[in-house]
């Protein structure tokens, strides 16, 4: 959605949109699927720019790094940005001092493209190491069995790490 900032005066601009973004766009192998993204928010003119506030809601399917099984993750996220355009740039210096906690978005023109912001948020919400649950037991390194579903007998056969060295030596 394109928001014309120069059209915003005293009244904030409210909008609501639904987006479908192909998983490939995000280029993250751990992301298996993405539901429709619903977004609503408002943009208000403030002293030295604009205040962008939005709430995103969607479901992402992530692949667990330990057991490689996809699992669903509900995301509810609030985004707050301070938007500055060329026209208001002169005051950026002061503004950064007073509102350090707000992320600053610099625009060349008066058109705010919400899809760009949403895409960035989607990236941020994909964890570095996705886990289906904190205590995921993972796959058995010996037989490949998913140890969350059922235990396998391989654990008993595991070689004592102290003997690994000897095993390597024997294979030489
Ligand atoms: Zn897992
Ligand atoms: Zn096993």
Rounded to the nearest whole angstrom, what is the distance from the C-alpha of residue 103 to the centroid of ligand 2?
Answer: 48
Query: Do 54 and 41 meet the contact criterion of CB atoms below 8 Å apart?
Result: yes
Query: Do 125 and 75 meet the contact criterion of CB atoms below 8 Å apart?
Result: yes
Rounded to the nearest whole angstrom, what is the distance from the C-alpha of residue 130 to the centroid of ligand 1?
Answer: 8
Helix (H) or strand (E) holding 94: helix 92-98
Rounded to the nearest whole angstrom, what is the distance from the C-alpha of residue 67 to the centroid of ligand 2?
Answer: 13
Whether pTM > 0.85 for this model: the answer is no
Rounded to the nearest whole angstrom, what is the distance from the C-alpha of residue 19 to the centroid of ligand 2?
Answer: 42
Rounded to the nearest whole angstrom, what is the distance from the C-alpha of residue 131 to the centroid of ligand 1?
Answer: 5
Tell me the pLDDT of the chain (172 aa) as tens digits. 999 999 998 999 999 999 999 999 999 999 999 999 999 999 999 887 899 999 999 999 999 999 999 999 999 999 999 998 877 655 555 555 555 567 888 888 899 999 999 999 999 999 999 999 999 999 999 999 999 999 888 865 555 666 666 656 555 5
């Amino acid at each position: 959605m394109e928001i014309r900032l120069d059209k915003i005066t005293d009244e904030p601009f409210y909008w609501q949109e639904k987006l479908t973004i192909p998983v490939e766009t995000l280029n993250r192998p751990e992301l298996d699927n993405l539901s429709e993204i619903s977004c609503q928010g408002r943009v208000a003119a403030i002293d030295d720019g604009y205040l962008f506030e939005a709430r995103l809601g969607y479901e992402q399917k992530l692949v667990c790094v330990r057991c490689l099984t996809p699992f669903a993750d509900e995301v509810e996220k609030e985004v707050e940005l301070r938007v500055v355009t060329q026209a208001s740039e002169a005051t950026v210096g002061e503004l950064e001092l007073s509102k350090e906690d707000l992320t600053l978005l610099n625009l060349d023109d008066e058109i705010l493209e919400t899809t760009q912001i949403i895409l960035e948020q989607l990236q941020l919400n994909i964890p570095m190491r996705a886990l289906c649950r904190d205590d995921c037991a993972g796959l058995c390194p010996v037989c490949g069995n998913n140890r969350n579903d059922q235990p396998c007998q391989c654990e008993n056969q595991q070689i004592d790490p102290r003997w690994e060295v000897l095993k390597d030596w024997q294979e030489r």
